[in-house]
Amino acid sequence: MGAAAAEDGIVGRGNREGARLFREWFEGLTQAAEQERGAAYVFVMGSLGELLRVFDLPLVFPEINSLQTAVRHVAHEYLNEAEDIGYSPDICGYVKADVATQRRGGVLPMGRIPKPAIAVLTNACNTYIKWGEIWERMYGMPAYVLDVPGTREAGGQTWPGHGDFERDRRYVASQLRELIGVLENVTGKRFDIDRLREYMGHANTMNRGWKRVLELNASRPSLFNALSDGTVYLGVCNGFRGDAKGAKFFDQLVEEMEYKRAHGIGTLTDEQFRLVFVGVPCYPIFRRFTELFMEHGGTFVHSTYLWFASGGSNLGFEYDLADPLDSLAEGLLIGVRDAMDSMFFQTRALATMIDEFAVDGIVFHPIKSCRTVSTGLADHRRALMEMRDIPSLFIESDMMDRRVVSEAQLKNRIDAFFEGLHSRRQQAAAGIS
Ligand code: SF4
């Protein structure tokens, strides 16, 4: 294959395929809604897609549906509808958009979602639990909360073989066994461990691929923008977890990134500054937000969002298919714990990444309506500044609510940040410290 032909086929394939899979996924959900099939409502931090597929449950990710209303510029209609019936402007915008979605019979800009037959949640975010209670009240279906033990202190994680870890793993495994019983009751289907093995095998391929793709972006120039392209890949990582199509997507994505690295094809033609993003994206002006950085030659080489919002898949954990249930518990514990650490204890990982990814600056983006991710970001910034001499930007907006997103203010702050980066570079070149 000639270089141009290869580029035509390979370069940009992840974005094209990601968009295609997304459309396909929503067509499937719309069909399930029309057939009045009950779905499993799940969250990105601990979705257990590989287990739920065994019971043929369509997977609905309310967080992803809600953020899509913001990307498509209609979130305000959904937020207003929920606020009109008493939901506070301060609570998680995803919850409010979902409440309005349910009141509209599941109608979203991308299609229609089926009603829940069950919700499966983890304790990774306290909002998940209150959100599940809303559906219980609306539909009277069960909401199963998996209690996944978190890290007791920064850097205090234990691993397989350690007594604390083994006790935590057994605790999670016992909950999974109980959940399987609940799923059998809800669906009327018997649990099939061989199907679970098959889906866990696909999840292994996806986890392995996701880890590799993230590592490859340490290349110079960086191969993809962690905020824009990365969010497309993340959508597949979540929505197709355990699916053969998800496994194929990640095999191909690794191939694309390896190809780009080998041929020096960067996400920007003239990469000037390599940045890391901390927090949740600004979905109401999603594309424009990234452009405000790209206009200065800045690209995001990494993001904590790609860690916690993938439920810890970034670690590349692979299940032992010879012992599926205990291994599923181990993977869930390690992944969800890492997702929580990526929100609450990310400072050390960021400090390490500064060298590994040759980072020029860190962008902290706390948002009004996600307290879980945003609380403490100012302290994390201060702690990181004490550990490393790295410029940082602290800008506030929201993931859903355009009323608190001011593009002009963001632009002023971002422009000033790049001025600082330029002058720091000039001083370094002149030997001024
Ligand atoms: S992590 Fe943030 S955005 Fe997600 S459900 Fe919790 S509060 Fe909402």
Q: Whose alpha carbon is nearest atom 7 of ligand 1? A: 370
- Cα 260 to averaged position of ligand 1 atoms, centre (Å): 34
Q: What is the pLDDT of residue 421?
A: 98
- Cα 352 to averaged position of ligand 1 atoms, centre (Å): 26
**Does the beta carbon of 283 lie inside 6 Å of ligand 1?**
no
C-alpha to C-alpha distance for 283 and 218, rounded to whole angstroms: 25
- Cα 135 to averaged position of ligand 1 atoms, centre (Å): 16
Q: What is the pLDDT of residue 36?
A: 97
Strand order in the sheet with 59-60: 59-60, 39-42, 116-122, 143-146
C-alpha to C-alpha distance for 335 and 46, rounded to whole angstroms: 7
With the most atoms of ligand 1 within 8 angstroms of its CB, the residue from 42, 61, 92 to mutate is 92
**Cβ 134 vs Cβ 141: under 8 Å:** no
- 3 state DSSP class of 172: helix
Please report the atom of ligand 1 found closest to the CA of residue 399: 3
The DSSP symbol for 212 reads H
Helix (H) or strand (E) holding 42: strand 39-42
Q: Whose alpha carbon is nearest atom 3 of ligand 1? A: 370
C-alpha to C-alpha distance for 373 and 204, rounded to whole angstroms: 27
Please report the atom of ligand 1 found closest to the CA of residue 43: 5
Q: Which parts of 153-297 are beta strand (E)?
A: 273-279
CA distances from 179 to 61, 86, 107, 184 (A): 19, 33, 29, 9
- Cα 206 to averaged position of ligand 1 atoms, centre (Å): 24
Please report the atom of ligand 1 found closest to the CA of residue 369: 7
- Cα 372 to averaged position of ligand 1 atoms, centre (Å): 6
Q: Which residues contact 246 (CB under 8 A, 6 or more apart)?
A: 21, 202, 206, 236, 237, 239, 240
Tokens of 377: 């970001």
C-alpha to C-alpha distance for 360 and 301, rounded to whole angstroms: 10
Q: What is the pLDDT of residue 3?
A: 55
- pLDDT 10s digit of each residue in the chain, 433 long? 445 545 669 999 999 999 999 999 999 999 999 999 999 999 999 999 999 999 999 999 999 999 999 999 999 999 999 999 999 998 999 999 999 999 999 999 999 999 999 999 999 999 999 999 999 999 999 999 999 999 988 888 999 999 999 999 999 999 999 999 999 999 999 999 999 999 999 999 999 999 999 999 999 999 999 999 999 999 999 999 999 999 999 999 999 999 999 999 999 999 999 999 999 999 999 999 999 999 999 999 999 999 999 999 999 999 999 999 999 999 999 999 999 999 999 998 999 999 999 999 999 999 998 999 999 999 999 999 999 999 999 999 999 999 999 999 999 999 999 999 999 999 999 887 6
- Cα 161 to averaged position of ligand 1 atoms, centre (Å): 32
How close are the terminal C-alpha atoms of the chain, in Å?
A: 50
C-alpha to C-alpha distance for 101 and 113, rounded to whole angstroms: 9
Q: What is the pLDDT of residue 225?
A: 98
**Does the beta carbon of 168 lie inside 6 Å of ligand 1?**
no
Please report the atom of ligand 1 found closest to the CA of residue 371: 7
- Cα 116 to averaged position of ligand 1 atoms, centre (Å): 19
